[in-house]
Structure 1
Amino acid sequence: MTSSSPGELGTPAPALVARTVEIDPAQVDDLLSLLPSDDPVSWVRRDEGLVGWGRAAELRTAGASRFDDAAAWWSELTSRAVVRDEVTEPGTGLVCFGTFAFADEPGDSVLVVPSVVVGRRGERAWLTTVGRGLEHLEHALVAAEAPRAPGGIAFTDGALDGEAWMSAVADAVSRIERGDLEKVVLARDLVARADGDVDVRWPLRQLSSAYPMCWTFHVDGMVGATPEMLVRRERGLVTSRVLAGTIRRTGDDERDLALAAALARSSKDLEEHEYAVRSVADALDPHCSSMNVPEAPFVLHLPNVMHLATDVAGVARDTRTSLELAASLHPSAAVGGTPTTAAVALIAEIERMDRGRYAGPVGWMDAAGDGEWGIALRSASVSGDTVRLFAGCGIVGGSDPEAELAEAQAKFVPVRDALGG
């Protein structure tokens, strides 16, 4: 295993050997069922995507240089690797999974190359094995032992209770209304403790089942089901799904349709959404020869909430990898605010918690630089018997603290339900 101390690339290890072979898609109808407890990683949506386990190589880094460190390490690793790829699809050959800290400080970031990766896309499926020699290149696929549900879950407030967090929201609104900034995203955390170590595969399976339209992910303890694609790069096409503006569902179809129509007309939510779309379009524009930015958002319906959503697309003009594009987008207005510098400074001042990797890029990349990076939303950090859940809300002028608290509570629901809480 290769590793590095924070902010350093470390000494290169012997070259990796990777082999990708095509397999029968019927073998991988349920990708998550293949995952053992040995360092599982996941990026799955609608029964397609990538899962993996084991660690053939790893980079840990931190600080303002975390994205540059990761890009340099991956470039060095792939340039020396021996790859036999019989499938040649995005996500075949040598693949890494990553999860990155939201802020420059504190927080650590990780890139992992699994020993085994299984992928499925449409009618094609594949198996990639990675190691330091030839002995690893044969691997039989079998369903792993099923995970156990966590027991004795108890929830407590994180850094701020509801009242204190509403006070922070009110403070942010007053600063916005006096012109200090236009928008800020404030998050809060909730802490769950179980009566034993939590098997991350349990919430992973529950999230995938309940939220099939989201990207269900796990990398190095960071687990969630994100509805937001920060950036996808595939054979020269760059896309990003922007979400901002949220309303909670009631479970009554007629009522929810009326709420969706109200969301689509809400000046507060449309303003918040416009900031987010503009920040993504402005960040991608230097790297794309042409771009399509829809004039109006659509309403994305999820089981617990509805969001205003816009899909931005462009044609890459340079060779920047998907990770480098993700770095240029982070933090977008959807998770930081506008202007970025003022919003991030206000978050550090009044949010009063370490976000860790919450709202940072999470996803995967192959040796060609193609990949998918979501934003770690509807997510939690799992460590031993402790799970730290996160939820955030976009605050603009006129935001109501009680309504924002209700929205944050709704955004806790996916992971909370997945834990059985």
Structure 2
Amino acid sequence: MSSTGPYPPRLYARTVEIEDPGPLAPLLPGPDAFAWVRRGEGMIGWGEVVRSKPASVAEAEEWWTGLVSQVVSVSDLNQTPGAGFMAFGSFVFDPATTAARSTMVVPRTVIGRRNGRSWLTQIGTSFGHDDALPPVVQPVPPRSVSYADGGLTGPQWEAAVAEAVRRISAGELEKVVLARDLLARSSEPIDPRWILARLAERYERCWSYLVDGLVGATPEMLLRRENGLVTSRVLAGTIQRSGDNTRDLASAAALARSSKDLEEHEYAVASVADALAPYCSGMNVPDAPYVLELPNVLHLATDVTAVAGPERTSLGLAAALHPSAAVCGTPTETARETLAELEHLDRERYAGPVGWIDAQGDGEWGIALRCGIVDETDPRQIRLFAGCGVVAGSDPQSELTESNAKLVPMRDALG
């Protein structure tokens, strides 16, 4: 059953522990399934019990709180986040500049795997259920993939970066994150499960996701809330890997000393800490970032931790954090206006929160990076995105090189 109204009839959720099903990504039965996986763990779901298209993350939290109050749940794993009534969600970056809509979906069936325990949750208008899992129709790889520029060509995007640097140097703002898009086209419909499985296999330190045609593997955790503990992983400052370990080690050391990248990172960390401060206590912000190594790039990273009260769900905290300086800039409103003017693209759900929430308000919301959106009207086409933080010391050609490096995961997954 699907509903676009405020609430469906009373819902029932039953969760039972099951034998270990193995890595989750290969178990998705069809391309319209949902996934949030990392290192073989996480959750996958399919079917649709109820859907909401909220205007904002804050509106989604209000809707979710009301929905949860009407749910009857029975679970064998009461203390495991995500094991029970839950929803997957994906949000647009800026509702004011897109015709796309955010979405939250309660799936009919969920399989979870975490910390040595696995479970099956089934949700509906009664406790009736069927333990038999649907057969998996294996995805086929995209065929004859070709690429074309999106909103801007490479030289045009470099010019946009140069204009952003000029405005920063003039004191109009401190940082702006400029995105670019690339169109990929296959001769046959693209099955996002093919992309998801390859991202999950190669980028196991990232969170791989699939929600309504949005598929990717993000290294950046906007917000995780688990039993009151809040964690946010901030990434800003990037350098491409060479494939040579000795050179990469030198690159990592250079990145950790780069004044341009450290400045960019400092803005991002400060924006997260400032946004969480009114809702959390016991915050810990490390003095210096570490270097996160991924197969294609090296990132400066900082893990901010804090304690949140029970009145703030993961969605509520995500609403307070989004958009952070890591995907927008500083000051926020000036940066948002600048990127809307210079990018010449509709971000849709790129760089918006993506993840899940459970009935207790726990959840994980990553930032939709290293991703693509399959075209709803022509599933042979997918739009890929990458973005770079621009500060006073940014060089347009270097930023274009960095954006190309960030497109590598999706291009490789398309094969």
Question: Are residue 109 (structure 1) and residue 109 (structure 2) matched?
Answer: no
1:191 is matched with which residue: 183, 189, 200?
A: 183
Question: Are residue 91 (structure 1) and residue 47 (structure 2) matched?
Answer: no
Contact residue 90 and residue 352 of structure 2 kept, 8 A: yes
Question: Secondary structure of 1:51's match?
Answer: strand
2:69 is matched with which residue: 76, 79, 88?
A: 79
Q: Equivalents in 2 of 1:263, 1:11: separation in Å?
A: 49
Q: Equivalents in 2 of 1:121, 1:92: separation in Å?
A: 9
Question: Secondary structure of 2:123's match?
Answer: strand
Contact residue 288 and residue 318 of structure 1 kept, 8 A: no
Q: Equivalents in 1 of 2:345, 2:6: separation in Å?
A: 34
1:7 aligned residue: none
Contact residue 34 and residue 46 of structure 2 kept, 8 A: yes
Q: Equivalents in 2 of 1:410, 1:69: separation in Å?
A: 35
How far apart are 1:231 and its partner, in Å?
A: 0.4
Contact residue 56 and residue 114 of structure 1 kept, 8 A: yes
How far apart are 1:133 and its partner, in Å?
A: 2.1
How far apart are 1:104 and its partner, in Å?
A: 2.0
Q: Equivalents in 2 of 1:115, 1:39: separation in Å?
A: 12
How far apart are 1:36 and its partner, in Å?
A: 1.0
Question: Are residue 150 (structure 1) and residue 150 (structure 2) matched?
Answer: no
How many pairs were matched up? Answer: 409
Q: Equivalents in 2 of 1:200, 1:371: separation in Å?
A: 23
Q: Equivalents in 1 of 2:383, 2:204: separation in Å?
A: 23
Q: Equivalents in 1 of 2:362, 2:107: separation in Å?
A: 17
Q: Equivalents in 1 of 2:115, 2:123: separation in Å?
A: 24
2:366 is matched with which residue: 367, 374, 382?
A: 374
How far apart are 1:292 and its partner, in Å?
A: 0.4
**Residues 318 and 75 (structure 1 numbering): CA distance in 2 closer, same or farther, change over 3 Å?**
closer
How far apart are 1:318 and its partner, in Å?
A: 4.9
Alignment of 1:150-299 (within 5 A): 150-299=142-291
Alignment of 1:7-18 (within 5 A): 10-18=5-13
Question: Are residue 391 (structure 1) and residue 383 (structure 2) matched?
Answer: no
The residue type paired with residue 387 of structure 1 is I
Question: Are residue 404 (structure 1) and residue 399 (structure 2) matched?
Answer: yes
Q: Equivalents in 1 of 2:67, 2:219: separation in Å?
A: 31
Question: Secondary structure of 1:286's match?
Answer: coil
Q: Equivalents in 1 of 2:271, 2:212: separation in Å?
A: 29
The residue type paired with residue 182 of structure 2 is L
User: Which consecutive unaligned segments of at least 5 residues does structure 1 have?
Assistant: 5-9
Question: Are residue 41 (structure 1) and residue 34 (structure 2) matched?
Answer: yes
**Residues 306 and 11 (structure 1 numbering): CA distance in 2 closer, same or farther, change over 3 Å?**
closer
The residue type paired with residue 269 of structure 1 is D
TM-score under structure 2 normalisation?
Answer: 0.97
How far apart are 1:143 and its partner, in Å?
A: 5.8
Q: Equivalents in 1 of 2:276, 2:251: separation in Å?
A: 32
Q: Equivalents in 2 of 1:364, 1:395: separation in Å?
A: 30
Over aligned residues, Cα RMSD in angstroms? 1.1
Question: Are residue 53 (structure 1) and residue 72 (structure 2) matched?
Answer: no
Contact residue 14 and residue 127 of structure 2 kept, 8 A: no
Q: Equivalents in 2 of 1:416, 1:187: separation in Å?
A: 17
1:139 aligned residue: 131
Contact residue 358 and residue 376 of structure 1 kept, 8 A: yes
Alignment of 1:326-341 (within 5 A): 326-341=318-333
Q: Equivalents in 2 of 1:297, 1:21: separation in Å?
A: 41
Instruction: Judge which range, 29-38 or 250-259, deviates more.
Output: 29-38
TM-score under structure 1 normalisation?
Answer: 0.95
Question: Are residue 122 (structure 1) and residue 115 (structure 2) matched?
Answer: yes
Contact residue 3 and residue 60 of structure 1 kept, 8 A: no
Q: Equivalents in 2 of 1:56, 1:235: separation in Å?
A: 26
Contact residue 33 and residue 143 of structure 1 kept, 8 A: no
Contact residue 34 and residue 141 of structure 1 kept, 8 A: no
Question: Secondary structure of 2:316's match?
Answer: helix
1:309 aligned residue: 301
Question: Secondary structure of 2:326's match?
Answer: coil
**Residues 192 and 38 (structure 1 numbering): CA distance in 2 closer, same or farther, change over 3 Å?**
closer
Q: Equivalents in 2 of 1:133, 1:233: separation in Å?
A: 29
Alignment of 1:316-327 (within 5 A): 316-327=308-319
Q: Equivalents in 1 of 2:207, 2:61: separation in Å?
A: 23
Q: Equivalents in 1 of 2:390, 2:57: separation in Å?
A: 28
How far apart are 1:30 and its partner, in Å?
A: 1.7
Q: Equivalents in 2 of 1:48, 1:146: separation in Å?
A: 20
**Residues 90 and 114 (structure 1 numbering): CA distance in 2 closer, same or farther, change over 3 Å?**
same
How far apart are 1:176 and its partner, in Å?
A: 0.1
